[in-house]
Amino acid sequence: MPHPMASAYWITAPRRGELRPQALPALRPGEVLVKTLYGAISRGTESLVFNNLIPESQYDAMAAPFQEGSLPFPVKYGYISVGKVLEGPEDLLGRAVFCLHPHQSAYVVPSEDVVPLPPDLPPERAVLAANMETALNGLWDATPCLGDRIAVYGAGTVGFLLAWLSQAIPGTEVTLVDPDISKAAVAQRLGLTLKPPEDAPTGCDLVIHASGVPEALAMALASAGYESTVLEMSWFGERKVTLPLGEAFHSQRITLRSSQVGGVSPTRNARKGHRRRMEIALDLLCARELEALITGESAFEELPDVMEKLADNGRGVLCHRIRYGIDQ
């Protein structure tokens, strides 16, 4: 028998969205009914969808798990959901889980698509899971080493996580580079050094670019040392990127490579699949200090207005959490 109606957020036009009623199917064997507790707004790909900056050639490639509708609009998009299993297999009943699911108050998915939270991870902090998974995969691609001098461009949520993970490697010297000095307090809480681009280090062993700003990639190249690697983690959508490859790029023998969370890094793919990668990401989020990356919270009912406001002014914003009714 079908469940009561849920509510889902749909992007309906460039920079416009609305909540729509969502019918839930009857549960079938091997499925779970999840009541959403918390979600979060992705400041990366989801913002590109909201601002209609996804190239038509990438509509299929950028489809989100459990997406409904089609890019560009109308589309139910998103991939950060933390909830409680209300119905399903006995080993999952009542457990808090993470799922790559669009913004929706409740949903039915196959049980293998939810990942239980570790006992020490509160649901409120688990909304960072997709960002942590991206950072983890990026470092698997980047392969930082002991004693490396590392610059991370872009003090967004993923940039902060990349820098935080990198500094845990013994001997590393990590600098987070961003012009938004309002984020210095968050950097301090995480034990990180944040500098503006004019004070960025040079001669680095590894440079990771995660700002999402095309012009910043040229600055990132300038931080790279001889025969070092610049890892590009931003996805620019339809925006064009111009790089000064006629300067030191060739003489310094710099490697520029991409990293994308859709595929498990080839350095780990033979031993760790998508689920194991997410389990590791959730375990890493048990560190309490990472709560500093959640810089705001709104009720689910406010999501259409919040998305528009953040699109207009996202200064100082890292992870913005969405709170659902949690009394069920």
pLDDT digits (tens, 9 = 90+) for 8-53: 999 999 999 999 999 999 999 999 999 999 999 988 889 999 999 9
Is 234 in contact with 154 (CB distance < 8 Å)?
yes
Domains of the chain (ranges; CATH) run: 3-125+285-323 (3.90.180.10), 131-258 (3.40.50.720)
Which residue from 119, 136, 111, 108 is spatially nearest to 33, judged by alpha carbons? Answer: 108
* Distance in angstroms (rounded) separating the CA atoms of residues 246 and 10: 44
pLDDT digits (tens, 9 = 90+) for 52-102: 999 999 999 999 999 999 999 999 999 999 999 999 999 999 999 999 999
Confidence of residue 326 (pLDDT cuts 50, 70, 90): low
pLDDT digits (tens, 9 = 90+) for 135-194: 999 999 999 999 999 999 999 999 999 999 999 999 999 999 999 988 999 999 999 999
Whole-prediction pTM = 0.95
Residues contacting 74, CB < 8 A, separation 6+ = 10, 11, 12, 13
DSSP state of 308: H
Task: Report pLDDT for 44.
Answer: 83
H/E run at residue 162: helix 157-167
Confidence of residue 328 (pLDDT cuts 50, 70, 90): very low
Mean pLDDT of 216-228: 96
